[in-house]
């Protein structure tokens, strides 16, 4: 590599850092919203369902079919098919319930405090959508790298949960990594990171098809692959409430 090439690369790096410094956290968030399809397109979505498969965990490579349904303002229902039995958890916006037949628990149980707190933060939108109107604060921490690519590291401080970091790709302006809630293992809290990959545009809005969760100190990651998105499907409020369910009830399509 000759001297001129080195100088040119140095100038390119300097200009990148200058451009990066000129972008504020608010501008990065605005570009993220635009890359996701725009606020207007997302505001038109009142409900969303997605299906696919997720890792079961453990030493065997077992994939479990799942269906996740979300409805504004923050209703959610997750169904997982485990050995032909449907396990589910639902949150109606105020209270949450879970049913876990694979653990030989045949009764519907209420969420514990942590589960309810986590469910209350489930949203259809991306983390940076309408953050200011939600009362959240956003700060630009600086430039970072995620899987070898330049990314903006942002610190988001919502009203309803502890501050966490979001990494936005410096080229596509899509989220590539989000800091999850720490997990307690071996009596210690371990940081959690969720990687967003393989974005797909459906009816004008862009969403990741692969989410991979990594826990610091744990070799095995947990991957979720989404194969189908449905925007504004019919979702009755009863779907998110407590109800009796049998272990042989067929999975919702």
Q: How far apart are CA 82 and CA 249, in angstroms?
A: 12
- Which value, to the nearest 10 degrees, does the dihedral of the CA atoms of residues 212, 215, 221, 222 take? -60
pLDDT (tens digit, 9 = 90+) per residue, 93-146?
A: 999 999 998 888 888 999 988 888 888 888 899 889 999 999 999 999 999 999
Average pLDDT over residues 193-204: 96
State the fold for domain 3-240: outer membrane lipoprotein receptor (LolB), chain A (2.50.20)
pTM for the full predicted model = 0.84
pLDDT tens per residue, range 216-248? 999 899 999 999 999 999 999 999 987 644 433
Listed by start position, the domains of the chain span 3-240
Is 102 in contact with 83 (CB distance < 8 Å)? yes
Tell me the residue length of the chain: 253
């Amino acid at each position: 590599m000759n001297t001129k090439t080195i100088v040119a690369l140095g100038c390119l790096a300097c200009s990148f850092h200058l451009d990066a410094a000129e972008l504020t956290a608010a501008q990065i968030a605005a570009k993220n919203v635009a890359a996701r399809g725009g606020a207007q397109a997302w505001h038109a979505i009142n409900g969303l369902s997605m299906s696919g498969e997720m890792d079961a965990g453990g030493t065997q490579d077992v994939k479990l079919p799942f269906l996740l349904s979300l409805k504004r303002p923050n209703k959610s229902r997750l169904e997982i098919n485990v050995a032909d039995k449907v396990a589910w958890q639902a949150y109606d916006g105020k209270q949450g319930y879970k049913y876990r037949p694979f653990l030989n628990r045949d009764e519907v149980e209420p969420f514990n405090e942590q589960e309810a707190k986590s469910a209350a933060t489930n949203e259809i939108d991306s983390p940076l959508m309408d953050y200011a109107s939600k009362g959240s604060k956003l700060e630009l921490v600086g430039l970072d790298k995620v899987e070898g690519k330049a990314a903006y590291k942002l610190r988001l401080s919502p009203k309803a949960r502890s501050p966490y970091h979001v990494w936005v790709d410096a080229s596509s302006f899509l989220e590539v990594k989000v800091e999850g809630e720490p997990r307690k293992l071996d009596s210690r809290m371990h940081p959690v990171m969720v990687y967003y990959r393989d974005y797909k545009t459906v009816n004008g809005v862009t969403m990741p098809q692969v989410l991979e969760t990594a826990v610091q100190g744990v070799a095995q990651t947990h991957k979720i692959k989404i194969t189908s998105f449905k925007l504004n499907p019919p979702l009755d409020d009863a779907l998110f409430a407590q109800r009796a369910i049998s272990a042989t009830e067929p999975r919702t399509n």
